[in-house]
Structure 1
């Protein structure tokens, strides 16, 4: 069976059996369908065309088939977080011995320190030995996507994000089910862990120091636009906006349209301008760079 067929079949099963909303992913774990719009558009799928990333996510079998037929290069599928009926929340626990990062150990330490009892739930093994833990969340809470806030090697996947589904193939290998296959039940997230995920640790916007000067920035209009996107981020969405902009910047870098280091430096400046802690911004940029360019996984 081809990787495409395997991804399609697993995506259909995830939708039909569990009610998840899915999209096709490329080998780089990014949405496999290109946008039909010019850069800088604000359409989230209202035009009816495919190519709006997570906004295309669906549980309708015909729609899923349509997406995969339009993306014959797809090798995996993403499961939308924060959508009903499950309001899925994920923890991406990275393990990298060379960089002395172990998200699994960090999560255990955090839970022990906070007295959090973590229930058994669906666990996915990533190609580099890390894990994705899945939980259901409350309908009235939007969990933000954050990198490194809970600890080194721990990334939160919430509303507007997605998790790579089991059976998907990425550039580094296959994502597989690590938990009991006879009990594929996504358990509710512990309340204390949810509170840590949604805690706002952002600082007020910086009032002193030299602001980011867009007119002096290299990298062209695309980088300027992404930096402006970060600078305009509202309270509570700063880290989400930084992660999105960084992924877009590194996509441009992968295509040879931007210098990755220059883009990272510019976005780091923007993060400081809007008041994100340096360590949190660095972790977010590292996570985005790893997801797109494969440097971290």
Structure 2
């Protein structure tokens, strides 16, 4: 029997595709529903194949606005309960502002402060309410500007979804709950991002090349190899989230100390800065410090 959440997500994904938005199925974890076809490769080359192999399972790179292709993707993932909307693609060149509402973080307040400081007005645009009380603002960007994904770069409560990233589409159900369109915004197109905001979103200066040691092979014991391979199989837009999940799983099962360095090395190999990778693994360690082995991972909003 087809699950109602699957049908609901497919209907919303097809509706988004008719508006020129490229979509693909998500699991309840908010990760791509179709697993990477390269996950069992003996010598994985993460970040190289973006679907050129012709198989499904390349995350946001599978996304399509062709209804037939969307149906094919969902048919390959009957466990899907949501869908992702690819950012940075024509015709909208979508930019997503993820405004958090957790603890001390208040993304809407931070955006208001940024607007005042940089002399721009936040436009009325399509807005998605998240299960945690946050919201996603959908904006369109210029075709000649590549906006990168970032976490808390422009403000503590704001994450940015750009080229290679995706937003959870309205109508999706995750472990945290349902994503819904904010009242009055359902029929609004993504509004053009104001110039003052675009200046903040422009790519930061390129970092210095990493030292040769970072290209060293990733070494991991057999017990943590599946977690390392899970990180190595990440594509751009999901690397940090997959690293955090793998680190949480390692600490949850008492293998955190054994896995930490291997997970950091895997993350560096797929392009995450070492400092960011260590911070992510450290967050997982703090989360499970003092908790008993076997505690369940809470997904948050």
What band does the TM-score fall into relative to the shorter chain? 0.7 to 0.9
Deviation at 1:183, TM superposition (A): 3.6
Pair 86,280 (structure 1): closer, same or farther in 2 beyond 3 Å:
farther
Q: Let me know the Cα RMSD of the aligned residues.
A: 3.9
Bigger helix share: 1
Q: Indicate which of 63, 66, 69 corresponds to 1:60.
A: 66
Q: Quick check: 2:148–2:160 contact (8 Å CA) kept in 1?
A: yes
Gaps of 5+ in 2: 288-296
Q: Indicate which of 8, 11, 30 corresponds to 1:9.
A: 11
Q: Provide the C-alpha distance between the structure 2 equivalents of 1:87 and 1:285, rounded to a whole number of angstroms.
A: 34
Deviation at 1:49, TM superposition (A): 1.5
Pair 43,191 (structure 1): closer, same or farther in 2 beyond 3 Å:
same
Find out whether 1:92 has 2:103 as its counterpart. Answer: no
Instruction: Report Cα offsets for 1:3-27 as digits up to 9, x if no partner.
Output: 00000000001001x1101000000
Pair 228,173 (structure 1): closer, same or farther in 2 beyond 3 Å:
closer
Instruction: Report Cα offsets for 1:217-253 as digits up to 9, x if no partner.
Output: 75666787899999xxxxxxxxx96x64433434544
Q: Provide the C-alpha distance between the structure 2 equivalents of 1:48 and 1:29, rounded to a whole number of angstroms.
A: 23
Q: Provide the C-alpha distance between the structure 2 equivalents of 1:34 and 1:170, rounded to a whole number of angstroms.
A: 17
* 1:33 corresponds to: 34
Deviation at 1:170, TM superposition (A): 0.8
How does 1:253-272 map onto structure 2 within 5 Å?
253=247, 263=260, 267=264
TM-score by length of 1: 0.77
Q: Quick check: 1:204–1:275 contact (8 Å CA) kept in 2?
A: no
DSSP-derived class of the 1:31 partner: coil
Q: Provide the C-alpha distance between the structure 2 equivalents of 1:284 and 1:254, rounded to a whole number of angstroms.
A: 8
How does 1:116-127 map onto structure 2 within 5 Å?
116-127=120-131
Q: Quick check: 2:64–2:70 contact (8 Å CA) kept in 1?
A: yes
Deviation at 1:267, TM superposition (A): 3.5
Gaps of 5+ in 1: 231-239
Deviation at 1:182, TM superposition (A): 5.9
* 1:200 corresponds to: 204
Q: Provide the C-alpha distance between the structure 1 equivalents of 2:262 and 2:111, rounded to a whole number of angstroms.
A: 29
How does 1:144-159 map onto structure 2 within 5 Å?
144-159=148-163
Q: Provide the C-alpha distance between the structure 1 equivalents of 2:282 and 2:17, rounded to a whole number of angstroms.
A: 31
Pair 270,247 (structure 1): closer, same or farther in 2 beyond 3 Å:
closer
Pair 182,255 (structure 1): closer, same or farther in 2 beyond 3 Å:
closer
Find out whether 1:246 has 2:228 as its counterpart. Answer: no
Q: Provide the C-alpha distance between the structure 2 equivalents of 1:71 and 1:269, rounded to a whole number of angstroms.
A: 27
Q: Quick check: 1:148–1:283 contact (8 Å CA) kept in 2?
A: no
Pair 138,13 (structure 1): closer, same or farther in 2 beyond 3 Å:
same
Instruction: Report Cα offsets for 1:54-81 as digits up to 9, x if no partner.
Output: 1110111111111111101100000000
Pair 21,109 (structure 1): closer, same or farther in 2 beyond 3 Å:
same
Q: Quick check: 2:31–2:238 contact (8 Å CA) kept in 1?
A: no
Pair 277,50 (structure 1): closer, same or farther in 2 beyond 3 Å:
closer
